[in-house]
Amino acid sequence: MSTTLESTAPPQSRIPFLGTRGVFMASALLLLLVVGCTYLFLTRGQISTDDAQIDGRLVPISPKVSGYIT
């Protein structure tokens, strides 16, 4: 007679409430968060423009009278 106990239940994953797909999604989300935070940290002091010009209307300001203001 053997005294060993054999289980017929399938082995459980380490995180049973997430499953395989949930673990993959959580890992992808964590990786995306780390990459995003690293990018923001490394580029926090940089200012950039695409063409170094601003868009706007130019309004000329000219005096209505001739002469100097004293």
- Give Cα 62 to chain centroid, integer Å: 48
24-28, 29-33, 64-68 — which is least confidently predicted?
64-68
**Top-confidence residue, 68 or 52:** 68
Mean pLDDT, residues 33-48? 89
Share of the chain above pLDDT 70, in %: 66
Position 9 confidence tier, pLDDT thresholds 50, 70, 90: low
Distance CA 64, CA 40 (A): 51
DSSP H helical segments within 6-70, as ranges? 19-42
